[in-house]
Amino acid sequence: MLDDSFHVFDTTLRDGAQREGINFTVADKLAVAKLLDEFGVGFIEGGWPGANPKDTEFFRRAQTELSLKHAQLTAFGSTRRAGTTAAKDPQVLALRDSGAPVVTLVAKSDDRHVELALRTTLEENLEMIADTVSFLLGQGQRVFVDCEHFFDGYRHNPEYALRVVRTAAEAGASVVVLCDTNGGMLPSDVFQIVSEVREATGARLGIHAQDDSGCAVANTLAAVDAGATHVQCTANGYGERVGNANLFSVVPALVLKRGRNVLPEGCLREMTRVSQAIAEIANIAPATHQPYVGISAFAHKAGLHASAIKVDPDLYQHIDPALVGNDMRMLVSDMAGRASVELKAKELGVDLSGDRETLGRIVERVKDMEMAGYSFEAADASLELLLREEIGQPVRYFEVESWRTISERRPDGSSASEATVKLYVKGERVVATGEGNGPVNALDRALRSALESVYPDLATMELVDYKVRILEGTSGTDAVTRVLIDCSDGQGEWTTVGVGENVIEASWTALEQALTYGLLRRGYTQQ
């Protein structure tokens, strides 16, 4: 049953959007809000209405375009200005008119910031807090108060920092959030200060931690251990400077490590999907090594690990990855042993259990190929083709007689590439040519031209990524080229690897395997 006494508060659309490189459109923000709601957070901070046109438009559209099942939309803003009243402050009125049922007010809690940044008195700052909270409550909105720079202020002037907390709570704020705005705190200090504030004020406390010291997640959990019942986080830890407490690290820790039911039933399993979807909207590559949700979070490479996992996966995993919507992956490389290959083969649908001779042969072949420059841990499709070949089930849809490419520079300054491939397909010799903006593109077009009449599903397959790495050779001037090709057919993606003395040779190997594997996925009969 969901624990209604605990708040999971997401601020991706406000604080997370301050990360360098993120520029959400209004449509992006609406899409992210829907994903966060599917994950089951209790509050989604949408931005600062009245401060910029984009956030104002977001709240306007949210009233008709967002139908949230789990979350309440929250508007962010500051307390009223000095020398006026909340009822006359345009910024406060914009919060009232936002349509958001909840408002989060940022308030100064460090006396130095009050006097130097706000340029007002300590007493006036307290009046600004009380007046704004009371006004918005009178408009029917729930109010949270973020005490900016709280921990630094508490260290400098604990008496005043506590007065800010008491003022907010007595004015009617549902939660008073202690903010580590500069991100410099350590977990033991957070635990001590939150404990002291809770005892001194009796207020319901929250925590907002920046990650400048690399401790935002730990600081958030320390605050919860000290009695905080409201955590503010961002998806994937996005945020200004180095970021905020990562929503997708804090929540599973609370649920799986602390036994707190802070999400609706079934929502935790959506975490990996939601994390990756938000990363795509933000146009930031998902962090492969991110805890819980990264593609490498449950990836095992060392042979010693694989041997133990074969007995019991829990021996080298802190949780079952399925709990957070992720999967265990076995990586096969030059560090692999028989157990690694056996488990990886099983993952790919090839049963090698008990076949020590074949396993040993595959292990040695993989190690030799990795010495030559191959890397199979990122190329499952190439590895599966290798496994099938080793067990006597090679995948063959065509036989290559030869291929070549020509690149030319034309008189008008343009350049072009042409490729010719000669194949045997279903017993027939086929010669095809293709032109492209480079030799690899030309080879791809020529190969498709030769095959598509027999295998029409090739038209659904496209190259989505192409990576080249130049590896050092055995002598100072020699080099080996490794190419990774990512393909998609609209239903899934796969990766192949090629290695050669030059980029064209390596690309051909990866390209040939990419199309072969795609045909295998589609279930075509081999020749």
What pLDDT score does 308 carry?
47
Looking at per-residue confidence, does 178 or 525 come out higher? 178
CA distance 318 to 287: 19
Taking 50 as the threshold, does the pLDDT of residue 335 lie above it? no
What pLDDT score does 286 carry?
82
What is the CATH code of the structural domain delimited by 7-282? 3.20.20.70
Q: Residue 378 — pLDDT band, cuts 50, 70, 90?
A: low
Taking 80 as the threshold, does the pLDDT of residue 371 lie above it? no
What pLDDT score does 329 carry?
62
Looking at per-residue confidence, does 411 or 199 come out higher? 199
Taking 70 as the threshold, does the pLDDT of residue 338 lie above it? no
DSSP state of 350: -
What is the CATH code of the structural domain delimited by 398-454? 3.30.160.20
- Beta-ladder partners of 75: 47, 103
CATH fold for the domain made of 373-392+460-526: Double Stranded RNA Binding Domain (3.30.160)
Sign of CA dihedral 336, 339, 344, 349: positive
Put simply, whether the predicted model's pTM sits higher than 0.75 gets the answer: no
135-144, 247-256, 349-358: which has the minimum mean pLDDT? 349-358
Give the mean model confidence (pLDDT) for residues 463-485. Answer: 74
Taking 80 as the threshold, does the pLDDT of residue 342 lie above it? no
Contact predicate 88/118, CB 8 Å: no
Residue intervals of the chain classified under CATH 3.20.20.70 are 7-282
Matching residue, tokens 């133990």: 308
Taking 80 as the threshold, does the pLDDT of residue 346 lie above it? no
Give the mean model confidence (pLDDT) for residues 136-153. Answer: 96
Taking 80 as the threshold, does the pLDDT of residue 407 lie above it? yes
Taking 90 as the threshold, does the pLDDT of residue 92 lie above it? yes
CA distance 414 to 408: 9
68-82, 180-194, 478-492: which has the minimum mean pLDDT? 478-492
Looking at per-residue confidence, does 128 or 329 come out higher? 128
> Which string of b and e fits 321-336 if b means at least 16 CB within 10 Å?
beebbbebbbbbbbbb
CA distance 260 to 240: 29
What pLDDT score does 230 carry?
97
3-state SS, 117-183, equals HHCCCHHHHHHHHHHHHHHHHHCCCEEEEEEECHHHHHHHCHHHHHHHHHHHHHHCCCEEEEEECCC
Q: What value does the mean pLDDT of the chain take?
A: 88
Above pLDDT 90, what percent of the chain?
A: 58
What pLDDT score does 45 carry?
97
Q: Residue 334 — pLDDT band, cuts 50, 70, 90?
A: very low
Above pLDDT 70, what percent of the chain?
A: 91
3-state SS, 418-467, equals EEEEEEEECCEEEEEEEEECCHHHHHHHHHHHHHCCCCHHHHHCEEEEEE
386-405 pLDDT, tens digit each? 888 888 888 999 999 999 99
Residue intervals of the chain classified under CATH 3.30.160.20 are 398-454
Give the mean model confidence (pLDDT) for residues 209-230. Answer: 97
Contact predicate 526/506, CB 8 Å: no
What pLDDT score does 333 carry?
47
Residue intervals of the chain classified under CATH 3.30.160.340 are 373-392+460-526
